[in-house]
Structure 1
Amino acid sequence: MPQTASQSLADYFCSLTISSLTPDNIAVAKTLTGDYLGVALGGSKTDSGKIAARFAEEMGGSQEATLIGQSGRASAVHAAFANAIASHSIELDDIDVLALFHFSPPVVSAALATAEKVGATGAETVTAVFAGCEMMERASRATNNSLRNRGFHTTPTCGVFGATVAAGILLKLKPEKMVSALGMAGAQASGLMEMYGPSMQKRFNPGPTARNGLTAAIMASMGFTGTNLIFEGERGFCKAFSDDAAVGELTRDLGKPYELLLEYKPYSCARPIHNAIDCALDIRGQMKEPLSQVKSIAMRRHPDWAHYHLNATPKTYHEAQVSLPYSVAIALLEGGALPPQYQNSKLNDPDIRRLSDLVKVTPDASLPRGVSCHMTLETAGGATYTSQIDYPRGSVQNPMTRADMDKKTHMLGDDVIGEAGVKRMLELVAGMDDLPKLSVLMESVSRPKVRELA
């Protein structure tokens, strides 16, 4: 009988070592890990990050893994849960090129927690991170855009398979046990797009995903068995989550060098909004009149995203980070879109509200990419300014420099572990594939405990 998709995937991923990866693969895994740690440090300061860490500590169990940006530790499954939430709490985590999902909250969270649990090397962890991301992207290609359009959130629904593969590699699962782990991962695939609003809902989604992937791998290592038809079965993942599944995408060119393209965020909001922010910043640089003279702001978006992120009156900064009108307004007014711009104290600012209300979005299928935006701003004096952005800053075609990436990490982490601490962390990431123990890296992102005075 021919192999099922999960059997083929398990055979492939269980055979991987760092020597299987290209230099570009290794560089991608290390860059992703460094960005993830900086973003998780920033996220550790948020209410959602703090609550998740508190939950992890209060659940008890062996103190196997670091809670990033905190002084405590937790069991690996709970550390993966809390760190995934922290890393998704400030909307600065990495993104795939189609802006459908975030790799690192589920995959890197599971990989780093597992690496600490088992005493893995840096090279083993690099391999697990890359493999987990490849698995996650394959699951997305097999099910999107239908999965997203049906209301499922790609990061958790596809991310659980990536988290499982990453953890399974570090637990040294044999192929038959990896198959079972993937089956149990599918049983836990979940996550809804009903997450935009004033609550912390969106922050939560990758937490269970990282935890569930690690749980599936641990259960499989103990002998718990799972189905080998989780992907293509009659009631399997692909048919349950997609109206237009392409099961063959799961294993297409499996075993050939895999090019993993990731994009990184310079702005603290949903990635499909970044094109609009770049348009606003471009026009801001062109304008000669004061912003008080703005009469209209017309934003054309590709139909893939034209009906998302339209709330012009966010009630919390969580909502503002998924609001295109607010983001355009704040970029025009302040020339930035980072955590200082997404604050509850700004939400009722009359100038921001006025500009937000002027933003009108219409679909335009002629735009070349799913995230493309074309902005036209008109002033009371009759001036018209236009900008079209197809590849936003941080994209593969318009990348952030190494200096940009390091500046971002210092901005997020310096007030958590200190400037010297962030510098040390970045140095360890750069040499991650040579670390005899990955735990050395994780020690660098733990906040020192404050000694109580006698």
Structure 2
Amino acid sequence: MAGAVRTGAVSAAVTVAAELGGPQGATILGRGLRVSAPAAALANGSLVHALDFDDTHAGGLIHATAVVLPAALAVGEQTAASGPAVLDAAIVGYEAACRIAAAVPHGFHARGLHATMVAGVFSSALVAARLSGLDAERTTHALGIAGSQAGGLLAFLGTGASTKQLHPGFASHAGILAARLAAAGATGPETVFDGPHGIYDALAEGHADRASIVRDLGQRWETTRIGIKPYPACQLSHATLDATAAALATRPFRPGDVDHIVARVHPDSASVVCDTSRDLTRPASDYAAKFSLPWSVAALVVDGRLGLDTFEPDSIRRPEVAELAGRVHVEISPSDGVAADAPGAVRVVLRDGAEIHGSVPRSAGGPDNPLTDEGLVAKATGLAGRDATPLFDAVRELDRHPDLAPLLDALALLLPSSAKERP
């Protein structure tokens, strides 16, 4: 979110949210402007996901914080909730989003839908319902209402469209509205998950393990399985990128040395980041580049790194990257488990006939190979352009505070415009 504010990403969502206005219940972060909670969640959800550098739950292949944090902050601020209450609601949201998506791995994506938005309307509805004090009956109605707003087309993949960035904002906005409608007496189908014409029947491909949504609830915590991205690109490319980095570390080579590169890729990953129905070597937009495994691998070899600047307009038009991307080939390699937690392996064949191999059991940043606390602070500091340590301190102390003011103040310090414009 800090990186998006700094770079001016999704300015349209922020502008529209500000124009929606409403009762001054919640803050548009990075603007210091107070608007209605649904409007703030629309802007903040879009900001969190704007750079595709936010966290990922591998089992559900969703960006959980992008649909949990906006609702938790907006409704938490609106209701003057305590820090512990906001944390409680957030964990409810995390468990819901991750479990709903993981019940049908890759199933929403296979139908051309963004699982983050599909699952996110439910997590946002639960967060809002919990912070608003809704009882079980009205919370059930909120979930049923939210289901009619689930969606999010993957049509952006082959175009320059910014809709993927907006999906978490849509989900957060819709979930809060669903909870408010339920509180006002609107009803929704209690069969939204397990009945005919529910979301899995209508929106998912393949078998959905509906019982898994509540299996071991309170004992097995999917919240702890959320990983932090080290690269600002689609999570499904990360294992291959790590394997490429491992090959470079084994024996450094230059782009001109390469005859071709072969990457072994999980079939569910290949359908998203190796889709040959679009040009994977000359991406149409920054998002198209982030969703092209061949281009991202080529950029890593050319530059020796991947950062936000890798996906700037001038960068994605570089002919030397496009040329090398055309020499990156994919072998479909089924493996046990989900695509986002699959191993990565590359074989780099040099022009002199030598081969360099790189492999990783899974990508970095996940629960089994996490970033360090220092790595997290460094990532946030780099995105914000200033020291993020005070923000981390505020997060660590959230369970001791009677409201969100210390956290919002820390965000205001991290984002100077907030400090200047907050009343």
How many angstroms apart in 1 are the aligned matches of 2:155 and 2:8? Answer: 20
Q: The residue matched to 1:305 in structure 2 has which SS?
A: helix
Q: Which residue of 2 aligns with 1:299?
A: 263
Aligned CA distance change for structure 1 residues 367 and 283 (closer, same or farther; 3 Å): farther
Please give the residue correspondences for 1:308-347 in structure 2 after superposition, counting only pairs within 5 Å.
308-310=272-274, 311-347=280-316
5+ long unaligned stretches in structure 2:
275-279
How many angstroms apart in 1 are the aligned matches of 2:303 and 2:332? Answer: 27
Deviation at 1:149, TM superposition (A): 1.2
1:274-308 CA-partner distances (Å, limit 9, x unpaired): 11111121112223443311111111111121222
How many angstroms apart in 2 are the aligned matches of 1:413 and 1:138? Answer: 31
Q: The residue matched to 1:411 in structure 2 has which SS?
A: helix
1:154-174 CA-partner distances (Å, limit 9, x unpaired): 100011111111111111111
Aligned CA distance change for structure 1 residues 127 and 359 (closer, same or farther; 3 Å): same
Deviation at 1:120, TM superposition (A): 0.5
Please give the residue correspondences for 1:54-453 in structure 2 after superposition, counting only pairs within 5 Å.
54-98=15-59, 100-196=61-157, 197-242=159-204, 243-256=206-219, 258-260=221-223, 261-310=225-274, 311-365=280-334, 370=339, 371-414=342-385, 418-419=386-387, 422-446=388-412, 447-449=415-417
How many angstroms apart in 2 are the aligned matches of 1:168 and 1:286? Answer: 52
TM score, norm. by length of structure 1: 0.85
CA contact (8 A) 1:80 1:207 kept: yes
Deviation at 1:233, TM superposition (A): 2.1
Deviation at 1:99, TM superposition (A): 6.3
Q: The residue matched to 2:349 in structure 1 has which SS?
A: strand
How many angstroms apart in 2 are the aligned matches of 1:306 and 1:394? Answer: 21
Q: Which residue of 1 aligns with 2:277?
A: none
How many angstroms apart in 2 are the aligned matches of 1:277 and 1:402? Answer: 22
Aligned CA distance change for structure 1 residues 282 and 205 (closer, same or farther; 3 Å): same
Task: Give the residue type in structure 1 aligned to 2:403.
Answer: K
How many angstroms apart in 2 are the aligned matches of 1:438 and 1:382? Answer: 60
5+ long unaligned stretches in structure 1:
1-39
Aligned CA distance change for structure 1 residues 434 and 218 (closer, same or farther; 3 Å): same
Task: Give the residue type in structure 1 aligned to 2:384.
Answer: G
Deviation at 1:413, TM superposition (A): 1.4
The count of corresponding residues between Structure 1 and Structure 2 is: 408
Q: The residue matched to 1:205 in structure 2 has which SS?
A: helix
Q: What fraction of aligned residue pairs are identical, expressed as a percent? A: 29
Q: The residue matched to 2:270 in structure 1 has which SS?
A: coil
How many angstroms apart in 2 are the aligned matches of 1:369 and 1:258? Answer: 18
Aligned CA distance change for structure 1 residues 146 and 423 (closer, same or farther; 3 Å): closer
CA contact (8 A) 2:45 2:169 kept: yes
CA contact (8 A) 1:160 1:186 kept: yes
How many angstroms apart in 1 are the aligned matches of 2:114 and 2:420? Answer: 42
How many angstroms apart in 1 are the aligned matches of 2:193 and 2:338? Answer: 29
Deviation at 1:426, TM superposition (A): 1.5
CA contact (8 A) 2:59 2:98 kept: no
Q: The residue matched to 1:362 in structure 2 has which SS?
A: strand
CA contact (8 A) 2:53 2:232 kept: yes
CA contact (8 A) 1:66 1:443 kept: no
How many angstroms apart in 2 are the aligned matches of 1:71 and 1:259? Answer: 33
Deviation at 1:178, TM superposition (A): 0.5
1:352-398 CA-partner distances (Å, limit 9, x unpaired): 12211111112122577623322111111121001122311112221
CA contact (8 A) 1:155 1:206 kept: yes
How many angstroms apart in 2 are the aligned matches of 1:247 and 1:350? Answer: 47
1:110-160 CA-partner distances (Å, limit 9, x unpaired): 111110110011100111111101111221233333322122211000111
CA contact (8 A) 1:294 1:377 kept: yes
CA contact (8 A) 1:93 1:265 kept: yes
Q: The residue matched to 1:169 in structure 2 has which SS?
A: helix
TM score, norm. by length of structure 2: 0.91
Supply the RMSD in Å over aligned alpha carbons: 2.0
How many angstroms apart in 2 are the aligned matches of 1:358 and 1:161? Answer: 42
Task: Give the residue type in structure 2 aligned to 1:270.
Answer: C
CA contact (8 A) 1:330 1:352 kept: yes
Deviates more, 1:140-149 or 1:108-117: 140-149
Q: Which residue of 2 aligns with 1:35?
A: none
